[in-house]
C-alpha cells in the first residue's frame, strides 16, 4: 500500500502540517519495513535465539567497519554539497554541524570509528582484520547506494535515504540487547551499541538525536518546495532502498557463513 510518502512533491511547498503528515507516514513506513526485513530477517532471528554463530557476528563486524568508515564521511560531503540550503537555515545548520562533528569527535577523535575498532577487538578481531578486509558485495552495496544518491541524487533523496538512521538506532538497541542477554557479553564490552542507540535516538550532551535531525531537515525541504526527486524515485522509495540494502547487509553475511548462493563451494 503506498501512502503519502510515495507522492511526488517536486516543486510543491507544503504547510508545516502537511509536511508533518508526510513525515509521520514515512516514519511508520520505515518502522514497518525495518521490522519485516531487518528484525524478522534470519540473521537477527538466529541472533535472538542464540543460534547465530559468533563467527557471523565477527564477519558482520568486519563489514560494518568498512561501512562506518565511509558513511560518516559521506555525511560530511553532504555538508559541503547542501550548504546553500543550510545557509538559509542556520538553526538547522547548527544541528547538522553537531551531527557531523559527533560522528568524528565523540567520545574522542576520530569519533565513532574508533569505537568500531574497539568493539571489533572485543569480538576478537585485530585492527588489521577490519581495516584491510575486503567487504562482501551485499555489504558494499549498502555503502554504494548512499554514494550514488549523494553524488547523483537530489538533496531530498539524500535526506530521505538518511532517515534510515532511525532504524539503525533501533537496530543498535536490538543488537546490543542480544549480545548482553543471549551472548552474555559484559556491558563494558558492548560500548558501540550503547553509544549508538543513544546518538541516533536521543538528545545527548546538547546534540540533537541524529534521526531527529534527519526528519527535521526532510520536513524543512518539503516546506520549501525543494523535494524534487528523479524519475523512479520518491521519498518512500528512498527509505525502502536504504532499508533493503541494510537488510541485505545481514543477508550477505548470513549467506557467506552458511555457504549459500554466491558463497557455495
- Binding stretches for Fe ion (CB under 5 A): 103, 112, 200, 210
Q: Which is nearer to Fe ion, 78 or 257 (CB)?
A: 78
- Output 112 or 140, the one with its CB closest to Fe ion: 112
Q: For the CB of residue 34, give the shortest distance to Fe ion in the complex, in Å.
A: 15
| Cα(188)–Cα(137) distance, integer angstroms | 32
Task: Confirm if 64 and 43 have CB atoms less than 8 A apart.
Answer: no
Distances in Å between the Cα of 69 and the Cα atoms of 31, 73, 74, 103 are 25, 7, 10, 10
DSSP 189: G
Nearest approach, Cβ of residue 65 and Fe ion (Å): 12
Q: Are 125 and 58 in contact (CB under 8 A)?
A: yes
Minimum CB–partner distance for residue 126 and Fe ion (Å): 22
Q: How far is the CB of 254 from Fe ion (least distance, A)?
A: 23
Considering the complex, state which of residue 14 and residue 207 has its C-beta at the smaller distance from Fe ion. 207
Give, as one character, the DSSP assignment of residue 34.
I
Distance between CA 163 and CA 165 in Å, rounded? 5
- Cα–Cα dist 255/238, whole Å: 25
Alpha-carbon distances, residue 24 vs 49, 161, 211 (angstroms): 32, 15, 13
224 in helix, strand or coil?
Answer: coil
> Which uninterrupted H or E stretch holds 128?
helix 127-131
Cβ proximity to Fe ion, 136 vs 208, nearer residue: 208
Residue 103 vs 138, nearer CB to Fe ion: 103
Nearer to Fe ion, 208 or 253 (CB): 208
For residue 158, the minimal CB distance to Fe ion (Å) is: 15
CB of 77 to Fe ion, least distance (A): 15
Amino acid at each position: 500500500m503506498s501512502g503519502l510518502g510515495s507522492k511526488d512533491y517536486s516543486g510543491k511547498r507544503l504547510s508545516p502540517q502537511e509536511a508533518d503528515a508526510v513525515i509521520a507516514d514515512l516514519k511508520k513506513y520505515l518502522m514497518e519495513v525495518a521490522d519485516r526485513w531487518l528484525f524478522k530477517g534470519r540473521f537477527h532471528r538466529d541472533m535472538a535465539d542464540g543460534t547465530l554463530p559468533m563467527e557471523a557476528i565477527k564477519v558482520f563486524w568486519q563489514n560494518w567497519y568498512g561501512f562506518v568508515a565511509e558513511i560518516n564521511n559521506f555525511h560530511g560531503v553532504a555538508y559541503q554539497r547542501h550548504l546553500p540550503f543550510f545557509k538559509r537555515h542556520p538553526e538547522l545548520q547548527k544541528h547538522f554541524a553537531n551531527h557531523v562533528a559527533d560522528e568524528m569527535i565523540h567520545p574522542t577523535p576520530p569519533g565513532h570509528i574508533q569505537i568500531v575498532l574497539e568493539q571489533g577487538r572485543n569480538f576478537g578481531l585485530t585492527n588489521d582484520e577490519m581495516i584491510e578486509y575486503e567487504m562482501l558485495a551485499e555489504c558494499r552495496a549498502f555503502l554504494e547506494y548512499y554514494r550514488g544518491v549523494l553524488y547523483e541524487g537530489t538533496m531530498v533523496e539524500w535526506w530521505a535515504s538518511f532517515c534510515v538512521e532511525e532504524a539503525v538506532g533501533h537496530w543498535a538497541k536490538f543488537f546490543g540487547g542480544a549480545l548482553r542477554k543471549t551472548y552474555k557479553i559484559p556491558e563494558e564490552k558492548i560500548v558501540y551499541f550503547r553509544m549508538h542507540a543513544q546518538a541516533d535516538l536521543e538528545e545527548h550532551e546538547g546534540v540533537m538525536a541524529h534521526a531527529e535531525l534527519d526528519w527535521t531537515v526532510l520536513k524543512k525541504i518539503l516546506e520549501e518546495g525543494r523535494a524534487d526527486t528523479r524519475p523512479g524515485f520518491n521519498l518512500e522509495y528512498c527509505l525502502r532502498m536504504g532499508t533493503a540494502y541494510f537488510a541485505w547487509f545481514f543477508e550477505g553475511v548470513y549467506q557467506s557463513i552458511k555457504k549459500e548462493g554466491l558463497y557455495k563451494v
